Each structure stands twice: as structure tokens, then as C-alpha cells.
């Protein structure tokens, strides 16, 4: 039913146009699993070190199709040169901004690798945008996102915001993986009009970090609240808090660096329990050998399709 399928889109207002597009990459169970493959811009070629044909866009498309992913999230070059060959088999989220990890990240800003108009022309089901929450160049990032949002509305395209804390001030005040920073970033994406938010799973503050004088009182308080819980409880709570910060805008969690099958599935379970809309798992999938990737994908989909709503 439409109701079940779009159950994550009932706590806030969405236009009919964007929900029509969203439907293209949502499972009948209302959840989604997206295969991101923008890392060859973000991280040089380091992910070629893999037990799979990780550098090959054709491989990725096939993995996405065979694994029954709901979409791939890629930059324009790959969309044009590779996805186009598979376009009826897997929907496209066009990532419209990016940067490398080569220069200093202290004042990170991710700029256009393509445009929303490209997404519309090529037949994308959605647009991806990376917001570097808290970066000293947020004064350029925020209006850039506002224009992307406006363009998405023009073409009726859903906007997925990668809500990533980043930059020297975040490093000093919270750390990019902190609950403090990730919750605030998710909220920022809601404030900016995201259709869907992508977040990383928050982590506890590194030992001693909270003693830095730049750390805000609020962050200390958040950590104090969570410090009484055991690690699993704390992780669950951190996940729930991000979902809550987004206030009804569906949240996708990413997988981050490569982890074990068990950790991956456990994390996924906690995320589902925490109310997440789905996953956007890249490295953990396309760097595994194909058979293992397909196997774990299958388990993940089962998890996503468990009756819950």
C-alpha cells in the first residue's frame, strides 16, 4: 500500500511531485537501501584495495541490480557513462557536489560536480548534496544548498542531504562523529528543506576530548546523559537522537569505514529500532567479495522488510 510504502513520509509535509519520485527508490516495506559510490572523488583511489572489482562502475551497477538496491548514488560522469546503460534497472541519485581529501579540510566546502538540471535531464530519481555543517565556509555552503533545494523543487526532485559536520571548528568543538555535531547537522538539513537526510552513526567522544576548553557545555551534557549506558544501549540512544533531531524528515544511516558482517548487521538493527528510513552502504558492500556482499545485502534487506510499522 502507498501508506505503508511512504510511511516514513507522514510526519512532515512533502509535495506530491517529490513523493512520486521518492516512490521509485522506496521498498514496499517503506524502507530503502542505497548504494553510494561517490568515494572515488572523495577519497582518491584508495578503495581499489579491495577483494572486489571496486574501481569498476559496471561492477557497481551490477552489484546494485543483483543485490536489489533501491538506487545508486553517484557523480555525473559515472551516471552518464555507466548508469545510463542500466537505467531501467536501478534508479539514480545524482550527487551534485563533491571534493577530494587532498587539500586541507579545515575549511571544507563541497562544490558542484554537476547540477540539478543535469539530474532532471538524465532521469535521476533524486539529488544528493553534501552539507559540511559548521565549516568556516558555511556562508557559501548554505546558500548553495538553498539554491539546490530550489532547483529540486523546480524539477520535483527529492533532495537527500548528506549532513556531515566538518571543518576546524567542529574538530575543536565536537568532532565530526559526535552526537553533538551529527544531531545538529541533521537538524540543519531539516531546517534547509531536505527530503531525506543521510547521517553517520554517532560515536562517543574520544577519551579526554570533553576536557578541551572549546567544547560547548551542551555537548558535555549530552555525553554525561549517555555515559551511564552500556555501549550497545548508548549506540541505540545516539541513533534515536539523530532520528529525533531530524523531526520527521526520514534519516538514512551510512556505514562509514569497513566493519565486520556482525557489526554491520547489529548496527543496522539498532538503526532500524531507532526509526531510521534505511541505509546507504557503500564501502561495506562494494569492497567485500561479490558473493559476501550479496549475502549480507540479502540479510540487510530482510531486516529492512521486517514488519514494523
189-218: contacts with a copy of itself (CB under 8 A): 189-194, 216-218
Q: What's the min distance (Å) between Cβ of 286 and a copy of itself? A: 14
Interaction with a copy of itself in 238-297: which residues (CB under 8 A)?
244-245, 247-249
Stretch that binds a copy of itself, among 45-53, 231-239, 283-291, 300-308 (CB under 8 A): 45-53
Residue at grid coordinates 546523559: 225
Interaction with a copy of itself in 153-182: which residues (CB under 8 A)?
167-170, 173, 180
Distance CA 113, CA 40 (A): 13
Backbone angles phi, psi at 68, to 5 degrees: 60, 40
Which residue in the set 139, 263, 273, 306 belongs to the binding site for a copy of itself (CB under 8 A)? 139
19 interacts with a copy of itself by CB under 8 A? no
Asked if residues 92 and 86 have their Cβ atoms less than 8 Å apart, the reply is no
**How many Cβ atoms are within 10 Å of 218's Cβ, its own excluded?**
11
224 interacts with a copy of itself by CB under 8 A? no
Q: What's the min distance (Å) between Cβ of 269 and a copy of itself? A: 25
CB-nearer residue toward a copy of itself: 91 or 98: 98
187 interacts with a copy of itself by CB under 8 A? yes
CB-nearer residue toward a copy of itself: 238 or 300: 238
Distance CA 304, CA 118 (A): 31
C-alpha cell at 240: 534515536
220 interacts with a copy of itself by CB under 8 A? no
Q: What's the min distance (Å) between Cβ of 167 and a copy of itself? A: 7
309 interacts with a copy of itself by CB under 8 A? no
13 interacts with a copy of itself by CB under 8 A? yes
301 interacts with a copy of itself by CB under 8 A? no
Distance CA 200, CA 175 (A): 12
Give the total of residues touching a copy of itself (CB under 8 A): 75
CB-nearer residue toward a copy of itself: 58 or 261: 58
Which residue in the set 1, 3, 28, 49 belongs to the binding site for a copy of itself (CB under 8 A)? 49
Interaction with a copy of itself in 65-124: which residues (CB under 8 A)?
75-78, 80-82, 84-85, 98-100, 102-104, 109-115, 117-118
Amino acid at each position: 500500500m502507498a501508506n505503508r510504502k511512504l510511511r516514513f513520509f507522514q510526519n512532515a509535509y512533502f509535495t506530491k511531485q517529490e513523493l512520486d519520485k521518492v516512490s521509485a527508490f522506496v521498498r514496499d516495506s517503506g524502507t530503502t537501501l542505497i548504494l553510494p559510490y561517490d568515494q572515488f572523488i572523495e577519497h582518491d583511489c584508495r578503495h581499489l584495495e579491495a577483494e572486489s572489482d571496486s574501481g569498476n562502475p559496471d561492477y557497481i551497477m551490477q552489484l546494485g541490480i543483483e543485490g536489489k538496491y533501491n538506487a545508486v548514488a553517484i557523480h555525473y560522469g559515472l551516471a552518464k557513462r555507466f548508469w545510463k546503460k542500466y537505467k531501467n534497472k536501478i534508479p539514480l541519485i545524482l550527487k551534485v557536489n563533491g571534493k577530494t581529501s587532498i587539500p586541507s579540510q579545515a575549511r571544507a566546502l563541497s562544490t558542484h560536480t554537476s547540477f540539478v538540471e543535469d539530474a532532471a535531464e538524465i532521469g535521476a530519481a533524486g539529488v544528493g548534496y553534501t552539507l559540511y555543517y559548521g565549516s568556516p565556509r558555511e556562508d557559501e555552503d548554505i546558500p548553495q544548498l538553498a539554491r539546490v533545494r530550489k532547483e529540486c523543487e523546480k524539477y520535483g526532485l527529492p533532495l537527500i542531504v548528506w549532513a556531515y559536520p566538518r571543518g576546524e571548528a567542529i574538530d575543536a568543538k565536537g568532532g565530526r562523529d559526535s552526537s553533538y555535531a551529527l544531531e545538529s547537522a541533521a537538524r540543519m538539513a531539516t531546517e534547509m528543506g531536505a527530503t531525506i537526510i543521510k547521517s553517520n552513526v554517532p560515536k562517543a567522544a574520544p577519551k579526554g576530548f570533553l576536557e578541551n576548553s572549546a567544547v560547548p557545555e551542551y555537548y558535555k551534557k549530552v555525553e554525561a546523559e549517555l555515559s551511564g549506558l552500556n555501549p550497545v544501549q548508548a549506540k541505540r540512544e545516539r541513533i534515536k537522537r539523530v532520528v529525533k533531531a531530524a523531526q520527521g524528515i526520514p534519516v538514512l544511516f551510512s556505514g562509514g569505514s569497513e566493519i565486520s558482517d556482525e557489526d554491520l548487521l547489529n548496527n543496522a538493527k539498532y538503526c532500524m529500532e531507532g526509526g531510521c528510513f534505511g541505509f546507504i552502504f557503500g564501502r561495506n558492500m562494494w569492497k567485500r567479495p561479490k558473493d559476501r556482499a550479496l549475502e549480507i545485502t540479502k540479510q540487510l534487506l530482510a531486516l529492512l522488510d521486517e514488519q514494523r510499522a
